[in-house]
Structure 1
Amino acid sequence: MANGIEIASYDPKKVSVIINGKEITNFGPDSVISVTRNEDIVTTQVGVKGDVAYSENANESGNCALTLMGTSSSLPYLRRLAIKRTPISLMIRDANDVGAVNVAEDECRILKPPDLNRAKEVGSETINIFIPSLNYR
């Protein structure tokens, strides 16, 4: 911290996605990955007098969206995995110094083959991966 100001840097080149041991390449211009849980980890109930109860949610599943350029050499590989309905291991490594979060999960599935988009310019295609138990490390 310099003069009370927090300074941090982020480098998207330090983020990698590996599926079944193969590094995924050629991400879209705006987004590399988006990882989210499918449901809240806790739900709440507030009684008429303000009493609060928490319910722990056992659903730990999540979703990962990868946005790749339409020219990505990873797209045919991901299409094959989706079409063959192959379970995959997903590893997301963030080597940034600040805010680094890693995910490493097995038995994930690509929900459907990526769409095929062709236009005047190179577009992007999104691959959605279901994660049965999403844990941040």
Structure 2
Amino acid sequence: MAKGIEVASYDPKKVNVIVGGRTITGFAADGVVSVTKNEDSITPAVGAKGDVTYSENANESGTIAITLMSTSSSLSYLRELEAKRRAINVTISDVNDADAFTLSADNCRVMKMPDLTRNKEQSTITVNIYAPSVVPR
């Protein structure tokens, strides 16, 4: 074995997404979940002589995108949450050895009704959830 080579394994079964107390199932082949912060954490400003100042941004909000198959039984649950306009808790837990994390966000909302598609074969549907804070703690 060559020295200095990092070897890691990843198991998508070790990633769990819980929305409003219910474990989400039926993920698409091309993804499980992605978390994107809405704004940068800092805004740099550079003066005339090269001095730099960082303005801290308190906005920790973001979008949690859940990628599901159009046949996922979780879609009807997520559509119901959007229709009722309920605030929910979202927990994402990744216990893989490399880059493991847990994110728990309160007062989240499904941003819009998930698409209704019927095709020759199953398709992928992304459900976006707004989270006031996507900073793992």
Bin of the TM-score, shorter chain as denominator length: over 0.9
Structure 1: stretches of 5+ with no match in the other structure: none
The residue aligned with 2:67 is 67
The residue aligned with 2:29 is 29
* Residues 117 and 124 in structure 1, CA contact (< 8 A), matched pair in contact too: no
**Equivalent pairs: percent with the same residue?**
58
The residue aligned with 1:82 is 82
User: Aligned partners of 1:82 and 1:13: how far apart in 2?
Assistant: 27
Q: Which runs of 4+ in 1 moved over 4 A?
A: none
Q: What pairs with 1:38-53 in structure 2 (closer than 5 Å)?
A: 38-53=38-53
Name the SS for the 1:77 alignment partner. Answer: helix
Letter in 2 for 1:17: V
The residue aligned with 1:135 is 135
User: Aligned partners of 1:112 and 1:57: how far apart in 2?
Assistant: 26
The CA deviation at 1:136 is 1.2
Letter in 1 for 2:136: Y
User: Aligned partners of 1:133 and 1:21: how far apart in 2?
Assistant: 18
The residue aligned with 1:125 is 125
User: Aligned partners of 2:103 and 2:46: how far apart in 1?
Assistant: 34
TM-score, normalising length: structure 2: 0.96
User: Aligned partners of 1:6 and 1:134: how far apart in 2?
Assistant: 29
User: Aligned partners of 2:103 and 2:133: how far apart in 1?
Assistant: 10
User: Aligned partners of 2:65 and 2:2: how far apart in 1?
Assistant: 36
Name the SS for the 2:101 alignment partner. Answer: coil
TM-score, normalising length: structure 1: 0.96
Matched, 1:97 2:112: no
Matched, 1:106 2:109: no
Name the SS for the 1:81 alignment partner. Answer: helix
